[in-house]
Structure 1
Amino acid sequence: MSLLELRAARVRYGPLEALHGVTLAAPAPGLTVLLGRNGSGRTTALRALAGAVRLSGGAVVWDGADVTRLPAHERARRGLCFVPDRRAVFGSLTVRENLELAHAGGDFSPALDAYPELRPLLARRAGTLSGGEQRMLALSRALLSHARVVLVDEPAQGMSPTVASRTYDLLRDLHACVVVAEQRLPPGLRERGDRTAVVYELRRGEIVFAGEAAELPTEGQTASPE
């Protein structure tokens, strides 16, 4: 069953149209991957689901209800967590303070269990962390949010292969609708012959492939337009 959908979605940046009537559905629970190179529209599609950009046409549907006009902060109140590729942490606050903001009760031990690399960094200001460490912190905050919908732009950016693999295991195990945007299919999904992750590949604002991760053509093969 799909929880979050784009229906014939169009997005314009001035005179340029970034999405040309994109339709996709993300199941819940489940992992959906939006693939595409820079300029393909994958990040715009993710931001449209989050309410961070306005549609010029089409609709965003959540649990069967049209939420196209619902602002991003209202979607957040309803249980949507959006982790952008940049500025995803509060740089002037410490790692501990970032985690405390994500969990009002103050128990952020699950985040440190997921990313023990953060434990010795609790007193550090988040802005001084490496790119990979900031992604771990941003994902930790998302894990603590217990959101119904988790949207992440390039979740494993700057991470080592081992930590990146662990990150995808964590995202797959969430009992939520999880949608990520990536330039390439995470290796673990293809190596496992994954038939649970839903994949949409975008090129120039249009979907050229929709199916399971195991069905995605390897690089060099041509995906047939939908």
Structure 2
Amino acid sequence: MKTGIQLHEARVRYGPLEALHGVSLAAPAPGLTVLLGRNGSGRTTTLRALAGTAPLATGTVTWDGADVTRLNAHARAKRGLCFVPDGPAVFGHLTVDENLDLSSPEAKADITPALDAYPELRPLLPRRAGTLSGGEQRMLALSRALLTAHARVILIDEPTQGMSPAVASRTYDLLVGLSRHACVLTAEQRLPSGLREHADRTAVVVHRLRRGAVVFSGEASELGRRRRSERPTPR
């Protein structure tokens, strides 16, 4: 049975500052998981810990039940982990076409799935990626997950940053589609409407972080009910 990727009592420190305080959470495979929290809550550090770019001070990372804590980011990528970080996540000196081609280093990549998902990229193929707008760069970065055939775990920080509402909605549809055969984990400040619409039909796991600790874990529908129950009663 595939159990996805998990953190167990994870602590991450940046110098004297501790960013994660014993975080334990799980992202099922296949399935869609969302990390919620404000800036500084530990969302990005959690993704980096799972990807292997932020080493743990204590705790473990397990993937399908195997301890991968000591595997570096490159080794995790070879096993099928795809990490799309926040901010610039493309090779700016390469063209859009060359960036897409990097998804399949052994042979010329079939970039059709990326262009079908984001037809906006088609006229931009000869452009250098560094000249694209923020939303266009985000589309290009997310195309890595679409074109990485062996991706088993997909970690995405702020997937729709800079995108128009229409493209953002299409992106969430794509993530839901990917989650049917892979473990998809995204980080957001709040649960997007594009995912709330899917929560009625697809189980969306939510972990809310605050100041480096998990304060809620459950399905998106439970989070909505909890928020309603916490609202003050009118007098």
Same fold by TM-score, threshold 0.5 exceeded?
Answer: yes
Correspondence list, 1:82-97, <5 A:
82-97=83-98
SS, match of residue 214 in structure 2: strand
- The amino acid that maps onto 1:90 is F
The answer to whether structure 1 residue 181 and structure 2 residue 187 are counterparts is: yes
Shift of 1:30: 0.7
Question: Is contact 2:88-2:137 (8 Å) kept?
Answer: no
Residue aligning to 1:150: 154
Per-residue deviation, residues 158-186 of structure 1 (Å, max 9, x unmatched)? 00111111111111111110111111111
Give the 3-state SS of the residue equivalent to 1:2 in structure 2. coil
Q: Which of 133, 151, 155 matches 2:136? A: 133
- The 8 Å contact of residues 96 and 125 in structure 2, kept in 1 or not, is answered as yes
CA separation in 2, counterparts of 1:28 and 1:192?
Answer: 17
Q: Deviations over 1:46-97 (max 9, x none)?
A: 1000001010111000111111111000000111010001231000000011
User: How far has the Cα of 1:189 moved from its partner?
Assistant: 2.1
TM-score norm. by structure 2 comes to 0.90
Aligned to 2:203: 196
| Structure 1 spans left out of the alignment, 5+ residues | none
Q: Per-residue displacement from partner, 1:193-225 (whole Å, max 9, x unpaired)?
A: 4351100000000111111112214879759xx
Partner of 1:69: 70
Unmatched runs of 5 consecutive residues or more in structure 2: none
Distance 1:162 1:78, change over 3 A: same
Structure-1 separation of matches of 2:144 and 2:42: 26
Write the distance in 2 (CA, Å) between the matches of 1:68 and 1:11: 12
Amino acid in the other structure paired with 1:142: A
Q: One-letter code of the match for 1:37?
A: R
Maintained 8 Å contact 2:33/2:184: yes
- Which of 149, 155, 165 is 2:169 aligned to? 165
Deviations 1:19-43 (A, max 9, x none): 1111111111111100110100011
The separation in 2 between residues aligned to 1:165 and 1:198, in whole angstroms, is: 19
Matched residue of 1:6: which SS?
Answer: strand
> Cα RMSD (Å) of the superposition?
1.7
Is the Cα–Cα contact under 8 Å of residues 96 and 128 in structure 2 kept in the other structure? yes
Give 1:105's aligned amino acid: K
| % identical aligned pairs | 73
AA of the residue aligned to 1:107: D
User: What amino acid does structure 1 have at the position aligned with 2:64?
Assistant: D
**1:208 is matched by which residue type in structure 2?**
V
Q: Secondary structure of the residue that 1:31 maps to in structure 2? A: strand
The one-letter code of the counterpart of 2:108 is: G
- What SS class does the counterpart of residue 4 from structure 2 fall into? strand
1:207 and 2:202 correspond? no
Distance in structure 1 (CA, Å) of the matches to 2:152 and 2:10: 22
Change (3 A) 1:158 1:220: farther
2:81 partner letter = L
Give the TM-score normalised by structure 1.
Answer: 0.94
Query: Counterpart in 2 of 1:109?
Result: 112
2: CA distance between counterparts of 1:5 and 1:222? 29
